[in-house]
């Protein structure tokens, strides 16, 4: 399997030509809900992930983006096999690992690692930094040259921490530093794929960029493939070669970075993009389309029929309720840019003739005061 | 559980940003070894005066009972001899078999006085009584802690059906009325080993006492451990261990167990004194250790018989018990406070 590590031409803009490392097909996870008295029985299921297709190439960084509760973490946990999939197939380097047991998984275990969202609960408070980073090597019986301690110190240095912190305890570190320790732990096994579940969401904004830069450095220098989970498009913008947008347990649009950010087709991607707070880097920044969605994500217990986005979509028609849109390449899209929508938007992010404001209250407000629209931000 | 954030606030720890760390690290290499949560706890504990004093008292009791044979040989008496019948000590007891001396017969010879009726030496009786009770309580507490931790760990970590059934078993045992059960079952358990017509050897009585009390002593700890494990199991560091391929056994041992040591230790410091009280209770009602084995609890039974004529006899065992239980409970509180500075009170 070591020949997988041939570095692909990473900058290939479409990112679809690289050798596939991870392939996920129709991945499904339903959490059963039990209820009833006096005998408990299954009364329903949270359809947290419902038919996700995704590929990650060798050394490629893929962003997985969606609102809170849409099943991103569940997808990540399924891929790292922390959860047992209800259906679908996960193959890693050509090997089917969908239902592999711990023993069967052993050979590839070390190659798929995870970075967690919460830096406060992802490090054992009773272990020193050294022990934390060393443990994965112990479990897998890896004895690097010069001993494990030396390797740990190298890793600490790599992630921007003082190697002398070896004997310290997690409570002595700030959130950003803890997240670096988490990165070092994930790197201890020389993985080929890292699933990073919102690695910076819990951090201070000023620290976020540092950690993202660190991850980017790691990804580029070591050729590690990343599945970077985030809840908005801003964080993954400079990091990911490809981006998948998730909504309520399904991937609704996937494509290379350029396609997603500049030529999005799915209405939900448009909405997400318009919510990205833009620092005025270039003059295009201000004349972006404005979309304000109304309401919450529907419950994953009873998702809407047909297209799941239809309850919040401004283009929804009867067909959307009856027929589920397939994830396909629309005409005019680049190869690998797939969209699941019956009535896709134009591939542009130019401002529209009229802003899409779905929230009735916000709409009334905006109609009242016609001027100074710039002061308004999304109702989160 | 001490949450890490809290620990950060209460301890004098430094949390530097990586950028800052690289510039300031040169001038303080000595501070870098870091303090473990255990060391922080020890520091907090040392600042707690009540805790330190009660720890001293508790240690004193343990040392005294460990050294009981040495002390009594230096003192020159033992708890078995009926000194009133010895020719060396005439007139130890009066015609009503009560101590003749003042205050229960306290004198340079008999530091804590003389036992009414039989005329044994109270000091050595108490010494050995404490020793026996402490040893039994220690064994009992260890057994209860081990059982409770095992059951709690298993039901907390494995969850599901295992947890459900272990939970029901725990509930079942919790529903027994403790003291009635002890009294009722002591003879039964002893009878399982020896026929009731024979004389029961002392060690068998001890085993029976420990068995009966062990039977009903592990539940609170099992529940406590189960609760802690349930919450720990969901923590991301456990998932991180799973992702690295660690076995269940390793996760329980290395990730979960070190984090439940605190509540276990605290609970154990509460369990030990209550075991002592329970053991004393058994002897008091007459189903524990019997004559002539010296026993703390039975001294109260003797004292209760004669307190109207000789109130002084109860003073020493009673004071010792009160001081010991109080010190141990205060110690438990201090240990808990040291581990968990934000909770309690
Ligand atoms: N163990 C579980 N049992 C039942 N339901 C669950 C479980 N884990 C997740 N869910 C449900 O699955 C859905 C998706 O959860 P998930 O954590 O994957 O969302 P997410 O996209 O990661 O959200 P966030 O951005 O808030 O982390 C949610 O509705 C959640 O309530
Ligand atoms: S399929 Fe219909 S409801 Fe769904 S996103 Fe497209 S237009 Fe909107
Ligand atoms: Mg999540």
Residue A230 sits in the same domain as residue A148: yes
Residue A11 lies in a domain: no
pLDDT digits 0-9 by tens, A225-266? 999 999 888 888 888 999 999 999 999 999 999 999 988 999
Residue B110 lies in a domain: no
Lowest mean pLDDT across A120-129, A370-379, B65-74:
A370-379
Task: Decide: residue A139, CB within 10 A, 0-12 exposed, 13-18 middle, 19+ buried.
Answer: buried
pLDDT value at residue A369: 56
pLDDT value at residue B25: 38
Residue A3 lies in a domain: no
Residue A96 lies in a domain: yes
Q: Which residue, judged by its Cα, is nearest atom 5 of ligand 2?
A: A341
Residue A169 sits in the same domain as residue A250: yes
pLDDT value at residue A7: 39
What's the whole-number mean pLDDT along residues A301-316?
Answer: 89
Per-residue pLDDT for A280 more than 50?
no
Counting runs of H as helices and runs of E as strands, what totals does chain B give? Answer: 15, 0
**Nearest residue in chain A measured CA to CA from B258:** A126
- Higher-pLDDT residue of A198, B75: A198
B11 touches chain A (CB under 8 A): yes
For β-strands A95-96 and A87-92, DSSP reports them as: antiparallel
Expressed as residue numbers, the domain containing B219 is: 47-82+134-296+323-343
For residue A29, report the phi and psi dihedrals to the nearest 5 degrees. -140, 115
pLDDT value at residue A291: 79
Q: What percent of chain B has pLDDT over 90?
A: 28
Residue A96 sits in the same domain as residue A144: yes
Q: How many CB pairs under 8 A join A and B?
A: 127
- Residue A153, ligand 1, Cβ within 6 A: no
Q: Which residue, judged by its Cα, is nearest atom 6 of ligand 2?
A: A341
Return the residue matching tokens 């050394």. Answer: A59
**Is the Cβ pair A110, B29 closer than 8 Å?**
no
Residue A46 lies in a domain: yes
Residue B31 lies in a domain: no
Per-residue pLDDT for B13 more than 50?
no
pLDDT bucket at B341, cuts 50 / 70 / 90: low
Residue A65 sits in the same domain as residue A167: yes
Residue A94 lies in a domain: yes
SS3 category, B18: helix
- Higher-pLDDT residue of A11, B191: B191
B31 touches chain A (CB under 8 A): no
From the centroid of its chain, how far is CA A251?
11
Residue A55 sits in the same domain as residue A189: yes
Q: What percent of chain A has pLDDT over 70?
A: 86
CATH of the domain at A191: 3.40.50.300
**Is the Cβ pair A102, B247 closer than 8 Å?**
yes
The mean predicted confidence, pLDDT, of chain B is 81
pLDDT value at residue A336: 87
pLDDT digits 0-9 by tens, B218-249? 999 999 999 999 999 889 999 999 999 999 88
Residue A148 sits in the same domain as residue A194: yes
Expressed as residue numbers, the domain containing A301 is: 286-379
Q: Which of A67, A73, A80, A198, when mutated, tests ligand 1's pocket best, judged by the most ligand atoms within 8 Å of its CB? A: A73
**Is the Cβ pair B242, A82 closer than 8 Å?**
yes
Q: Which residues line ligand 2 (CB under 6 A)?
A: A 266-267, 307, 309-310, 313, 315-316, 320, 325, 341-343
Q: Residue B135 in contact with residue B206, Cβ under 8 Å? A: no
pLDDT value at residue B192: 82
Chain B residue numbers touching A177 (CB-CB < 8 A): 15-18, 21
Report the separation in Å between the CA atom of A91 and the middle of ligand 3, taken as the mean of its atom positions.
Answer: 22
Chain A residue numbers touching B340 (CB-CB < 8 A): none
pLDDT digits 0-9 by tens, B72-108? 888 887 888 777 777 777 777 777 777 777 777 777 7
Q: Domain count for chain B, please give it.
A: 1
CA distance A273 to A212: 20
Q: Domain count for chain A, please give it.
A: 2
Report the candidate in A221, A28, A188, A164 with the shortest Cα–Cα distance to residue B244.
Answer: A188
Q: What percent of chain A has pLDDT over 90?
A: 39
Q: Which of A109, A113, A171 sits opposite B7 (nearest CB)?
A: A171
What are A66's strand-pairing partners? Answer: none
What's the whole-number mean pLDDT along residues A345-363?
Answer: 73
ipTM rounded to 2 decimals: 0.82
Residue A119 sits in the same domain as residue A243: yes
Biggest CA–CA distance in chain B, Å, is: 88
CA distance A72 to B20: 34
What do you get for the CA distance between the two ends of chain B, in Å? 16
Best probe of the B interface among A105, A169, A229, by most B CBs < 10 A, is A169
pLDDT digits 0-9 by tens, B30-85? 445 567 777 888 888 888 889 999 999 999 999 999 998 898 888 887 888 777 77
Residue A242 sits in the same domain as residue A292: no
- Which ranges constitute the DSSP H helices of chain A? 72-79, 102-109, 129-139, 148-158, 175-187, 205-222, 233-236, 257-262, 267-274, 318-322, 360-368
CATH of the domain at B167: 1.10.3720.10
A168 touches chain B (CB under 8 A): yes
Report the separation in Å between the CA atom of A32 and the middle of ligand 1, taken as the mean of its atom positions.
Answer: 13
Residues 6+ apart with CB under 8 A from B39: none
């Amino acid at each position: 399997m070591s020949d997988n590590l041939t570095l692909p031409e990473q900058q290939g803009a479409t990112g679809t030509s690289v050798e596939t490392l991870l392939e996920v097909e129709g991945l499904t996870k339903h959490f059963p809900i039990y209820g009833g008295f006096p005998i408990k029985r299954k009364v329903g299921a949270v359809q947290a992930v419902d038919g996700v297709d995704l590929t990650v190439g060798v050394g490629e960084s893929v962003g997985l983006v969606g609102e809170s509760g849409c099943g991103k973490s569940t997808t990540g946990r399924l891929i790292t096999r922390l959860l047992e999939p209800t259906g679908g197939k996960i193959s890693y380097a050509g090997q089917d690992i969908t239902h592999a047991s711990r023993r069967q998984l052993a050979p590839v275990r070390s190659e798929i690692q995870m970075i967690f969202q919460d830096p406060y609960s992802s490090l054992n408070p009773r272990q020193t930094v050294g022990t934390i980073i060393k443990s994965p090597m112990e479990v897998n019986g890896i004895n690097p040259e010069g001993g494990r301690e030396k390797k740990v110190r190298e890793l600490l240095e790599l992630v921007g921490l003082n190697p002398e912190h070896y004997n310290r305890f997690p409570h002595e570190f700030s959130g950003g530093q803890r997240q670096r320790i988490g990165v070092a732990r994930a790197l201890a096994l020389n993985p080929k794929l890292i699933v990073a579940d919102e690695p910076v969401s819990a951090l201070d904004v000023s620290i976020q960029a540092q950690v993202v830069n660190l991850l980017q450095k790691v990804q580029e220098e070591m050729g590690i493939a990343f599945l970077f989970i985030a809840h908005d498009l801003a964080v993954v913008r400079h990091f990911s070669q490809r981006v998948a947008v998730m909504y309520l347990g399904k991937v609704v649009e996937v494509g290379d970075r350029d396609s997603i950010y500049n030529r999005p087709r799915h209405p939900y991607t448009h909405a997400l993009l318009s919510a990205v707070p833009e620092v005025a880097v270039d003059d295009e920044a201000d004349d972006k389309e404005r979309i304000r969605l109304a309401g919450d994500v529907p419950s994953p217990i009873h998702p809407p029929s047909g297209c799941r986005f239809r309850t919040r979509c401004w283009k929804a028609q009867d067909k959307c309720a009856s027929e589920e849109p397939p994830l396909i390449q629309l005409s005019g899209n680049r190869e690998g840019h797939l969209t699941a929508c019956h009535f896709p938007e134009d591939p542009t992010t130019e401002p529209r003739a009229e802003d899409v404001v779905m929230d009735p209250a916000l709409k009334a407000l905006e109609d009242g005061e016609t001027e100074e629209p710039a002061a308004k931000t999304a109702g989160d | 559980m001490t949450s890490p954030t809290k620990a950060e606030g209460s301890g004098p720890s430094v949390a530097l940003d990586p950028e800052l760390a690289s510039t300031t690290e040169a001038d303080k290499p000595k501070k870098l070894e870091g303090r473990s949560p255990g060391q922080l706890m020890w520091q907090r504990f040392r600042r707690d005066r009540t805790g330190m004093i009660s720890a001293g008292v508790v240690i004193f009791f343990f040392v005294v009972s460990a050294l009981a044979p040495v002390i009594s040989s230096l003192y020159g008496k033992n708890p078995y001899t009926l000194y009133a019948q010895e020719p060396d000590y005439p007139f130890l007891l009066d015609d009503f078999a009560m101590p003749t001396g003042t205050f229960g017969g306290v004198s340079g010879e008999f530091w804590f006085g003389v036992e009414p009726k039989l005329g044994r030496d109270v000091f050595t009786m108490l010494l050995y009584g404490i020793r026996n009770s402490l040893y039994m309580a220690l064994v009992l507490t260890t057994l209860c802690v081990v059982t409770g931790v095992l059951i709690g760990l298993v039901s907390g970590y494995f969850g599901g059906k295992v947890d459900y059934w272990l939970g029901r078993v725990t509930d079942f045992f919790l529903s027994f009325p403790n003291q009635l059960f002890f009294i009722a079952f002591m003879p039964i358990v002893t009878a399982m080993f020896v026929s009731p017509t024979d004389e029961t050897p002392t060690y068998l009585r001890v085993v029976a006492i420990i068995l009966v009390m062990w039977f009903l002593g592990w539940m609170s700890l099992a529940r406590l451990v189960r609760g802690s494990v349930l919450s720990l199991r969901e923590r991301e560091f456990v998932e991180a261990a799973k992702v690295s391929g660690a076995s269940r056994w390793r996760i329980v041992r290395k990730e979960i167990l070190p984090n439940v040591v605190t509540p276990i230790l605290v609970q154990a410091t509460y369990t030990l004194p209550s075991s002592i009280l329970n053991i004393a209770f058994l002897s008091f009602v007459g189903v524990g250790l019997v004559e002539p084995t010296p026993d703390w609890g039975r001294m109260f039974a003797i004292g209760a018989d004669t307190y109207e004529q000789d109130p002084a006899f109860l003073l020493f065992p009673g004071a010792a018990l009160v001081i010991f239980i109080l010190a141990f409970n205060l110690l438990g509180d201090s240990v808990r406070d040291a581990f968990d500075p934000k909770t309690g009170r």
